[in-house]
């Protein structure tokens, strides 16, 4: 078992590369199984546990994979198993994209219900509503989604809630449906656009991704292609916040500044300096920033996935900050951990009220989920003295080489193996 040991209080200086986007990659890998001809070569894949998990799942379906550090070649012409029921399927969220992908290509599938971060109730009713509207029969049997269709026929679907997962999943299935599907009230996150671009490179016909309405004209088959995943908005946001919190000057490379606008705007409001230059962004901060109010919202609003890292910064920002978490009902599990380090936070339902303290003090804390883990690392980097972050398997699910990247910026952080 590993933990991160951090001696806080160092300013951060230097430059690091941001990896490919986790939430795009974990949808693009399942989408690749829709190719009935040729192989998919996918580049800029982040080297994280969620990706490794999906690579194992694809292999279990019969795909042949050639895996390199940041790229993968997928031959899905030889799929011979439509029953995704391994431990890997159960433990991650994005395995639910296998439902849309297998339904689209084979018109049937059996996929165990997904796991993922414990951040609130995570229903898939909107996914099912979309599949049924396309003509599929869906049953939940013994913990699996069992789905089949004689034909998938394009239709109009208006989602009741804006959902990243439902938008992508139904877009996958509709790509191989007969006729035109119109999806309304869809999510607009950068990874939605990236998955649509990937499917279009495979021969799909998808228009409007990134707006409220997506129009998909079904095609008969999809084939392999070469593709590079977009940079990770959330990883970049996390390092921006860490730089703002510790003080110093940090350059992030391989990013798309437009995707970071809501985060940049808040950091500027707090007193940090941000400079965009092509595919890089520079964050300069004195480390003494002022508190702000935040409401998490679907893109282009402030991302819920950056809320937890941001709350670590707000614990030492002057005055009172109020966070309203509008996407997930229990995404404040990191608060008790931050309190162990001296933070002054009160949670009332979906609101956290943070009164800035002078500094945090190092403690033994745990990563309760992926982004909570990032928050605890940032807290450890700010704090006076030593912090140990336990349960870092959550962090490894989404942040490649986190300790190496922070070390490259001058932080005192190391990974240590230990037994319970």
**Smallest separation (angstroms) from ligand EPZ to the CB of 161:** 4
Decide: is 110 part of the binding site for ligand EPZ (CB under 6 A): no
User: At its nearest, how many Å lie between ligand EPZ and the CB of residue 166?
Assistant: 5
Q: Does 123 bind ligand EPZ (CB under 6 A)?
A: yes
Identify whether the C-beta of residue 8 lies closer than 8 Å to the C-beta of residue 383: yes
Query: What gap in Å lies between CA 355 and CA 316, rounded to an integer?
Result: 8
Q: Is 43 one of the annotated binding-site residues? A: no
Task: Find the distance separating the first CA and the last CA of the chain, reported in whole Å.
Answer: 8
Which residues in 96-108 are b (16+ Cβ under 10 Å) and which e? Answer: bbbbbbbbbbbbb
DSSP state letter for 229: P
The pairs formed by 87-92 with CB atoms below 8 angstroms and a separation of 24 or more are: 88/53, 88/54, 88/56, 88/57, 88/60, 89/57, 89/114, 90/114, 90/115, 91/53, 91/115, 92/26, 92/50, 92/53, 92/54, 92/116, 92/397
Q: Which one of the listed residues 40, 53, 117, 225 is annotated catalytic?
A: 117
307 is a contact residue toward ligand EPZ (CB under 6 A): no
Q: Is 225 a catalytic residue?
A: no
By CB under 6 A, is residue 209 in contact with ligand EPZ?
Answer: no
User: Please, what sign has the CA dihedral across residues 60, 168, 142, 122?
Assistant: positive
Of 327, 335, 365, 392, the one binding ligand EPZ (CB under 6 A) is 327
Closer residue to ligand EPZ, CB minimum distance, 163 or 264:
163
Both tokens of 17, joined, read 């590369």
Contacting residue, 304, 307, 315, 321, with ligand EPZ by CB under 6 A: 304
CB of 29 to ligand EPZ, least distance (A): 11
Number of H helices, E strands in the chain: 14, 26
Q: How many residues are present in the chain?
A: 420
Looking at the Cβ atoms of 48 and 316, the one nearer to ligand EPZ is 48
Q: Determine if 315 is a binding residue for ligand EPZ (CB under 6 A).
A: no
Give CA–CA dist 361/102, Å, rounded: 50
Among 46, 165, 237, 309, binds ligand EPZ (CB under 6 A): 165
Q: How far is the CB of 239 from ligand EPZ (least distance, A)?
A: 15
- Is 166 among the residues that bind ligand EPZ (CB under 6 A)? yes
CA atoms within 13 A on the CB side of 394: 21
d(CA 240, CA 18): 11
Decide if residue 144 touches ligand EPZ (CB under 6 A).
no
**List 76, 95, 163, 233, residue binding ligand EPZ (CB under 6 A):** 163
Interaction of residue 117 with ligand EPZ, rule CB under 6 A: yes
127 binding ligand EPZ? (CB under 6 A): yes
Binding-site annotation: residue ranges for UDP-N-acetyl-alpha-D-glucosamine: 93, 122-126, 305, 327
Binding-site positions: 22-23, 93, 122-126, 305, 327
Binding footprint of ligand EPZ on the chain (CB under 6 A): 23, 26, 93-94, 117, 119, 121-127, 161, 163-166, 187, 304-305, 327-328, 370-371, 398
Catalytic residues: 117
């Amino acid at each position: 078992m590993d933990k991160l040991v951090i001696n806080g209080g160092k300013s951060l200086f230097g430059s690091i590369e941001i990896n490919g986007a986790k939430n795009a990659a974990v949808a693009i890998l399942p989408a690749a199984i829709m190719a009935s001809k040729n192989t998919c070569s996918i580049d800029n894949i982040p080297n994280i546990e969620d990706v490794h998990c999906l690579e194992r799942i694809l292999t279990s379906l019969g795909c042949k994979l050639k895996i390199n550090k940041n790229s993968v070649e997928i031959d899905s012409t030889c799929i011979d198993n439509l029953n995704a029921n391994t431990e890997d399927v159960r433990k991650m969220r994005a395995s639910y994209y296998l439902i849309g992908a297998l339904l689209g290509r084979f018109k049937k599938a059996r996929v165990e219900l997904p796991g993922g971060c414990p951040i609130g109730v995570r229903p898939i009713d909107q996914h099912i509503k979309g599949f049924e509207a396309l003509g599929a029969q869906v049953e939940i049997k013994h913990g699996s989604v069992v789905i089949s269709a004689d034909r998938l026929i394009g239709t109009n679907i208006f989602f009741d809630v804006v959902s990243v997962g439902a938008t992508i999943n139904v877009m996958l299935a509709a790509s191989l449906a007969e006729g035109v599907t119109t999806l309304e009230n869809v999510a607009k996150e950068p990874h939605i656009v990236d998955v649509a671009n990937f499917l279009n490179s495979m021969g799909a016909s998808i228009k409007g991704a990134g707006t409220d309405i997506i129009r998909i004209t079904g095609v008969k088959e999809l084939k392999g292609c070469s593709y590079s995943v977009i940079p990770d908005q959330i990883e970049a946001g996390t390092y921006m916040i860490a730089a703002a919190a510790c003080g110093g000057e940090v350059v992030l490379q391989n990013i798309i500044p437009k995707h970071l606008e809501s985060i940049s705007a808040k950091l500027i409001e707090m007193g940090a300096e941000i400079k965009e230059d092509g595919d890089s962004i520079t964050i300069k901060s004195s480390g003494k920033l002022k508190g702000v109010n935040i409401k998490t919202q679907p893109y282009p609003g402030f991302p819920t996935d950056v809320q937890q890292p941001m709350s670590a910064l707000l614990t030492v920002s002057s005055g009172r900050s109020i966070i309203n978490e509008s996407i997930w009902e229990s995404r404040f599990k990191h608060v008790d951990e931050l309190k162990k380090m001296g933070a002054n936070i009160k949670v009332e339902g979906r609101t956290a009220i943070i009164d800035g303290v002078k500094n945090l003090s190092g403690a033994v804390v745990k990563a309760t989920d992926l982004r909570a883990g990032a928050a605890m690392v940032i807290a450890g980097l700010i704090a006076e003295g030593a912090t140990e972050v336990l349960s870092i398997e959550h962090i490894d699910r989404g942040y490649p080489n986190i300790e190496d990247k922070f070390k490259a910026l001058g932080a005192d952080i190391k990974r240590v193996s230990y037994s319970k």
